[in-house]
Structure 1
Amino acid sequence: MSPPLRKFRPGERVVIREVLRGRVWTSRPVVVVEDSKNQFVSYLEPGTIIDYPIGAQHGRGTFSMWLSGEWELGDKEFSPPGMLRIAPVGQPFEVFAPVTSEAGAMSWYVNFQRPLVRTAHGFDTLDETLDLLVSSDFSSWERKDGDELELALEMGVYDQPEAQRILDSCAVVENALEHGVVPWDRTWRNWRPPVD
């Protein structure tokens, strides 16, 4: 029996990978901000080189690659601003917040994905297409890429129960927001990236 995987220390560099059927789809080096029993928070610095599928485009192009299992990874530079990533433990989403040293978190992007799975070098997950854009003050939100989820269902990337699970996950977050409950740690709103 292997020993339990350790928690990561603030300031440590780890990798968050998207993995599909045992193959790496993307790999993003991040800096650990917090690794606790409730959440994993990291920072993706501008200028970071990530591994990203060559020629990948949203929609049909990406889904065709997923279905065929054929892609090659290349280097891609992450553009400013930096991105704070908040992953409540066990939840089917991660919250991306573009941040600057002047403004802190400027908005919230709820990225529905498989819950993070801890590895020796970071975490594995996989994007699940649907997103929710939330204003900085949590007062309004809108779904993004619902049409892509429908296309993925048509192409056989997801079956009907999987697509419904993703939609249900989004509805849970929307319902919480409607009742004034933010289902992630909203105190990160005032976080600022370290200044070199």
Structure 2
Amino acid sequence: MGNRLFSAHEVIVRREILDGREWMVYPVRVVEDTGDLLAVHLAQGTPLTFGPGPFRWGPHPWTAFEPYWQSEGVLQLQRPGDGYSVWARYSGGEFTGWYVNFQEPMRRTEHGFDTLDQELDLLLPADGSPYRWKDEDHFAERHRSGGFTDEEAAAVREAAASVVELVEGRGGWWERWRDWRAPQGWEVPGAVPLTA
């Protein structure tokens, strides 16, 4: 269960699991799955489904907005065992940079994969200007308030250090995807019901 490779163009499910239950769920379309890399596309307008809770972190912060992916579509790249994924971001179809999303390593399921966003993010502008951290204060507060154990927080910091080492060494494995764009005609997948 959960070990098969997904086919290109297949719609699969990305679930954020908190307290053993679905915190947020949405569909993504597979771009490539080699086993060593899972590349998926999150389309603008994709419906987001939120678990009813209660959760120790409270409701997902995006429940305050319309339950759709508001921004332009993004390419999400994740590798087994990595405590992060790398998202290609666009404006008007032009690549604007990489967004490193620190998260629990993906766990494949029969229908997609599970993870959990861990607050901290790193922005890598397309023009090569210096990287910037995002949500450091949210991450620190989540740890301080007990939302992350010391071990979980340490794992996020270790993943962050490994990404910085790659960036500063000009060795980002994700760079080969810089010129990728979603094909014309890809439809926005429909809503995904909660299962957990």
TM range (shorter): 0.7 to 0.9
Q: Which of 187, 193, 196 pairs up with 2:176? A: 187
How far apart are the structure 2 equivalents of 1:85 and 1:150? Answer: 25
Q: How does 1:23-172 map to 2 (within 5 A)?
A: 23-52=21-50, 66-67=55-56, 76-99=67-90, 102-103=93-94, 105-172=95-162
Residues 4 and 70 of structure 1, relative CA distance in 2, 3 Å threshold: closer
Q: Would you say how many aligned residue pairs link Structure 1 and Structure 2?
A: 182
Q: Deviations over 1:141-168 (max 9, x none)?
A: 1111111111112211112232122112
How far the C-alpha of 1:4 sits from its partner, in A, is 6.2
* 8 Å CA contact retained: 1:85, 1:95: yes
Residues 179 and 136 of structure 1, relative CA distance in 2, 3 Å threshold: same
How far apart are the structure 1 equivalents of 2:32 and 2:92? Answer: 18
Q: Which of 5, 8, 16 pairs up with 2:6? A: 8
Letter in 1 for 2:77: I
Name the Cα RMSD after superposition.
2.5
How far the C-alpha of 1:136 sits from its partner, in A, is 1.5
* 8 Å CA contact retained: 1:84, 1:99: no
* 8 Å CA contact retained: 1:99, 1:193: no
How far apart are the structure 2 equivalents of 1:125 and 1:46? Answer: 21
Structure 1 stretches of 4+ moved >6 Å: 68-71
Q: Deviations over 1:13-67 (max 9, x none)?
A: 000000112210111100000011220000011111111368x9xxxxxxxx642
Q: Which runs of 5+ in 2 are unaligned?
A: 186-196
Letter in 2 for 1:76: P
Q: Deviations over 1:71-130 (max 9, x none)?
A: 7x9771112311110112221101111236742x32111001111111011000011111
How far apart are the structure 1 equivalents of 2:165 and 2:114? Answer: 27
* 8 Å CA contact retained: 2:83, 2:155: no
How far apart are the structure 2 equivalents of 1:53 and 1:119? Answer: 18
Q: Which runs of 5+ in 1 are unaligned?
A: 57-64
User: Higher strand fraction: Structure 1 or Structure 2?
Assistant: 1
Identify the structure with bigger relative contact order (alpha carbons < 8 Å, sequence gap 6+).
2
Letter in 2 for 1:194: P
* 8 Å CA contact retained: 1:16, 1:27: yes
TM-score (norm 2): 0.83
